[in-house]
Amino acid sequence: MKVSLITVSHNSANTIRDTFDSVLNQTYKDIEYIVVDGFSQDGTVSIIREYEPEFARRMCWISEPDKGLYDAMNKGIKMASGEIVGIINSDDFYHRNDTIERIVSSFIEDKTIEIIFGDVRYVNSTDLERTVRYYSSKKFNPSLFRFGFMPHHQTFFTYRYNYERIGLYQIDYKITADFELLIRFLYKNRLKYKYLNFDFLKMRNGGISTRPKNHLLLNQELVRSCRANGIYTNMLIIYMKYFLKIFEFVFTK
């Protein structure tokens, strides 16, 4: 069962080697690796070319301007030929060599499962062994979308045909296209999912998914995503999530 892993990058020369190495080190080898670069000017493309032979024809890549992160992800999905698709950002990395193997095994063990997700460990950007936040999807269920909660997007794996029949990321959402897509897959279309109780990868604090956001726009888009897919919510309900998020943080010395 081939897995297509997609990495979107833009001026990621400082971190993308760790991402590449973590994919190369996976015990599961039937991986097609797709890199969609946003016309980087910092040496990222040179690193991609350097690593291309290491993947022994399992890597395909492009470097060109795009319309943003979600547009680049859509390009990667359209390039994919694997049965299963997953996304890993260019400043994140798999710290377990058997992550993909465990995910594929779960799909094989239960053919009715359409989606798999798990947990993420956020680490200090200068000390990758120091955990600053642990994002668990253990208690997720689709009713939590109305509060702005979702499984972590970086752990979301599904069959490629689901993108073909349900659709890609809607790029008119500036911040929450991943949230809207997960609502369509998990709530609107009721795809059967399975949670795996381990941290799939490490994410640098301050990376793509943790950069400062326009929180007003973010929450407006969360409400819009819910309402577009038949979930009632409002800004007051969405803002309740901030009181609960404090329990995700892990304070270390």
140-157 pLDDT tens trace: 999 999 999 999 999 999
Q: What pLDDT, on a 0 to 100 scale, did the predictor assign at position 95? A: 97
Q: pLDDT (tens digit, 9 = 90+) per residue, 46-64?
A: 999 999 999 999 999 999 9
pLDDT at 75 over 60: yes
Classify the C-alpha dihedral 28-14-151-243 as positive or negative.
positive
Q: What is the mean pLDDT of residues 221-249?
A: 84
**Residue 253 domain flag:** no
Q: Whole-structure pTM over 0.95, yes or no?
A: no
**Residue 183 domain flag:** yes
Q: pLDDT (tens digit, 9 = 90+) per residue, 169-222?
A: 999 999 999 999 999 999 999 999 999 999 999 999 875 444 546 889 999 999
**What residue numbers bound the domain in which 81 lies?**
3-248
**Residue 199 domain flag:** yes
Point out the least confidently predicted range of 8-12, 60-64, 129-133, 239-243. 239-243
Residue 106 C-beta-side C-alpha neighbours within 13 Å: 23
**Residue 38 domain flag:** yes
**Residue 54 domain flag:** yes
**Residue 59 domain flag:** yes
Q: Where are the beta strands (DSSP E) in the chain?
A: 3-9, 31-37, 59-63, 84-87, 92-93, 115-124, 127-135, 157-159, 193-204
Percent of the chain scoring above 70 in pLDDT:
93
Number of domains present in the structure of the chain: 1
pLDDT at 246 over 90: no
Q: What is the DSSP string of 63-97?
A: E---SSHHHHHHHHHHH--SSEEEE--TTEE-SST
Q: What is the mean pLDDT of the chain?
A: 93
Q: What is the DSSP string of 221-241?
A: HHHHHHHHTT----HHHHHTH
Reduced to 3 DSSP states, what percent helix, strand and coil does the chain have, rounded to the nearest 5?
40, 25, 35
pLDDT at 22 over 50: yes
**Residue 233 domain flag:** yes
State whether residue 132 is helix, strand or coil: strand
Interior/surface letters 134-167, b for 16+ CB within 10 angstroms, e for the rest: ebbbeebebebbbbbbbbbbbbbbbbbebbeeee
What's CA 247's distance to the chain center, in Å?
A: 21
pLDDT at 252 over 60: no
Band (244; pLDDT cuts 50, 70, 90) = low
Residue 100's CATH number: 3.90.550.10
